[in-house]
């Protein structure tokens, strides 16, 4: 194992080079998209492409060979990838952001993760299904099953989150403050394959099983503390705002690059197919149909609106991060509203397009249909849940308590 003290920072490529590398992968990823879906995990060659291009080092700390880039760059690379394969974009963006979470942990944890290599994927699971996390002498033990560990087949490390359960079998304390996050090597867990889903199947978001796994104290942290301002990792990696500021608003938007890119990919595929499509019933060129033209324009407008909202969100997060400022309550509720609108606009645009294709639109091998499935799967995420986020905004705007202490109890000022 390479000593952590021997690790040297790698010169990061320019943002333009990273985006060029992402664009260069698009043809191959488009060719593998169907295979990725059927395999229900990224193919090994795709993972190797992501490592070779450095797309999984965007948020990795520089002292461990990463590029330590900013948040908008991370989402932009994923948006490009999602045009070809949203599942691959999910690994780049959502799972790739786990490197930033790890960079917020104490130095010993970071040395464990990156001490013997730089191309490391970290999976997480935050939905306990059975069992739980228990206090033990010198640390904790995990015993049970956790769900939705995207990319776990390719991971080297796993982080799970849950409340600490009392040994007497009583119910654990509830609430975000009671959650603990623990770090384990992939070798300590068993993968349980229950990932049979309607969309985003290529993410390989399988369950993980822990059988009385011991986790030493230094590999544990309060889940709240790891996302709050000034975590232990801020002293280890002092140059990036992503390792220092409140991380919740950033991680909550990590799926937006894949969502917008997925809609753009559906649109591009629809245009290419429609240009060459001849109506079976009428024998005419489908592109000459006025309703087709009108609905295409409407979907184009919705996707552009979603992209503009994404750019505004990225700009605000980056601006606040560079200034080492925490988002104020008004900004938090607006960010949640805009995340939700981005997903809603993209789903509306792609639903219109796939519906316009008639029977052709229901075939699995139709790339527009695949984007439709993937987009609807991503839109189920709590970060873009319509009822939750729109209600919170509405209550805030009307001067009512939202029920979220981060909003209700915080001063409405930056910093």
Last residue of a domain, one of 98, 120, 142: 120
Do residues 108 and 161 both lie within one domain? no
Averaged pLDDT for residues 363-384: 97
Given a cut of 60, whether residue 200 has pLDDT beyond it is: yes
Same domain, 265 and 383: yes
Mean pLDDT over 78-101 rounds to 98
Tokens at residue 370, please?
């695949």
If asked whether residues 154 and 260 sit together in one domain, one would say no
Residue 4: the pLDDT is: 45
Which CATH number fits the domain that encloses residue 308?
A: 1.20.140.10
Greatest distance between any 2 Cα atoms in the chain: 75
Binning pLDDT at 50, 70 and 90, where does residue 173 land? low
pLDDT for res 414: 44
Question: Is residue 231 situated within a structural domain?
Answer: no
Nearest to 109 by CA among 62, 68, 158: 158
Q: Lowest-confidence range among 5-9, 59-63, 105-109, 173-177?
A: 5-9
Q: What is the pLDDT of residue 284?
A: 76
Residues 188 and 284: their CA atoms lie apart, in Å, by 60
pLDDT reported for residue 410: 79
- Domain coverage including residue 39: 4-120
Instruction: Say what the pLDDT of residue 409 is.
Output: 87
Name which of 42, 22, 2, 290 is nearest 151 in CA terms. 42
Q: Is residue 240 part of a domain?
A: no
For the question of whether the overall pTM of this predicted structure is more than 0.75, the answer is yes
- Range from 63-72, 226-235, 271-280, 397-406 carrying the lowest mean pLDDT: 271-280
Task: Please say whether the beta carbons of 115 and 2 come within 8 A.
Answer: yes
| Across 111-137, average pLDDT | 94
What is the average pLDDT across 312-323? 98
Give the residue from 60, 92, 120 where a domain finishes. 120
Q: Please check the confidence at residue 265 and state whether its pLDDT lies above 70.
A: yes
Q: How confident is the model at residue 166 (pLDDT cuts 50, 70, 90)?
A: confident
> pLDDT by residue (tens digit) across 13-71?
999 999 999 999 999 999 999 999 999 999 999 999 999 999 999 999 999 999 999 99
Residues 215 and 264 in one domain: no
Confidence class for position 177, pLDDT limits 50, 70, 90: low
**pLDDT in the model for residue 174:** 64
* Side-by-side strand order, sheet with 139-149: 127-136, 139-149, 206-216, 190-192
Q: In terms of domains, do 268 and 396 share one?
A: yes
Residue 415 binned pLDDT confidence (cut-offs 50, 70, 90): very low
Together in a domain, 397 and 348: yes
Which pLDDT value is given to residue 233? 96
Quick one: 115 and 96 in the same domain?
yes
Instruction: Tell me if 239 is assigned to some domain.
Output: no
Range 193-204 average pLDDT: 97
Averaged pLDDT of the chain: 93
* In a shared domain, residues 372 and 275: yes
Q: Are residues 50 and 20 in the same domain?
A: yes
Considering the domain architecture, whether residues 83 and 203 belong to the same structural domain is answered as: no
What is the share, in percent, of the chain residues with pLDDT greater than 70? 93
Asked if residue 19 belongs to a domain, the reply is yes
Give the per-residue pLDDT at 406: 86
Look at residue 261 and tell me whether its pLDDT is greater than 90: yes
Same structural domain, 258 and 382: yes
Do 174 and 35 lie in one domain? The reply is: no
Cα 334 from Cα 328, distance rounded (Å): 10
Domain boundary, last residue among 222, 244, 268: 222
What is the count of structural domains for the chain? Answer: 3
């Amino acid at each position: 194992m390479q000593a952590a003290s021997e690790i040297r920072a790698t010169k990061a490529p320019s943002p333009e080079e990273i985006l060029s590398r992402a664009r260069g992968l698009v043809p191959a990823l488009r060719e593998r998209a169907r295979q990725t879906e059927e395999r229900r995990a990224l193919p090994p060659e795709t993972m190797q492409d992501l490592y070779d291009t450095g797309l999984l080092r965007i948020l990795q700390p520089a002292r461990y060979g990463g590029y330590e880039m900013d948040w908008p760059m991370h989402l932009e690379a994923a948006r490009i990838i999602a045009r070809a394969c949203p599942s691959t974009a999910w690994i780049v963006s959502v799972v790739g952001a786990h490197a930033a979470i790890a960079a917020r942990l104490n130095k010993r944890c970071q040395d464990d993760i990156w001490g013997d290599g730089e191309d490391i994927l970290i999976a997480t699971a935050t939905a306990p299904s059975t069992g739980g996390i228990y206090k033990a002498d010198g640390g904790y033990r995990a015993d049970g099953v956790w769900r939705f560990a995207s990319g776990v087949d390719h991971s080297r490390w796993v982080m799970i989150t849950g409340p600490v359960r009392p040994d007497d079998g009583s119910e654990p304390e509830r609430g975000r403050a009671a959650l603990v996050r623990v770090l384990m090597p992939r070798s300590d867990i068993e993968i349980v394959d229950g990932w049979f889903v309607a969309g985003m199947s290529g993410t390989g978001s399988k369950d993980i099983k822990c059988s009385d796994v011991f986790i030493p104290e230094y590999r544990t942290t309060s889940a709240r503390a790891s996302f709050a301002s000034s975590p232990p990792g801020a002293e280890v990696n002092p140059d990036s705002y992503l390792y220092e500021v409140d991380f919740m608003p950033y991680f909550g938007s990590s799926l937006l690059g894949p969502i917008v890119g997925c809609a753009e990919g559906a649109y591009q595929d629809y245009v290419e197919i429609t240009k060459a499509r001849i109506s079976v019933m009428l024998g005419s060129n489908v592109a000459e149909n006025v309703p087709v033209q009108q609905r295409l324009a409407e979907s184009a407008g919705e996707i552009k609106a979603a992209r503009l909202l994404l750019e505004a969100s990225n700009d605000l997060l980056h601006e606040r991060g560079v200034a080492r400022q925490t988002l104020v309550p008004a900004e938090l509720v607006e960010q949640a509203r805009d995340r939700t609108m981005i997903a809603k606009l993209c789903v509306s645009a792609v639903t219109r397009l796939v519906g316009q294709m008639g029977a052709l639109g229901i075939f699995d091998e139709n790339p527009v249909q695949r984007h439709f499935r993937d987009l609807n799967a991503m839109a189920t995420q709590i970060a873009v849940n319509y009822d939750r986020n729109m209600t919170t905004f509405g209550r805030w705007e009307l001067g009512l308590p939202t029920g979220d202490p981060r909003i209700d109890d915080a001063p409405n000022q930056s910093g």
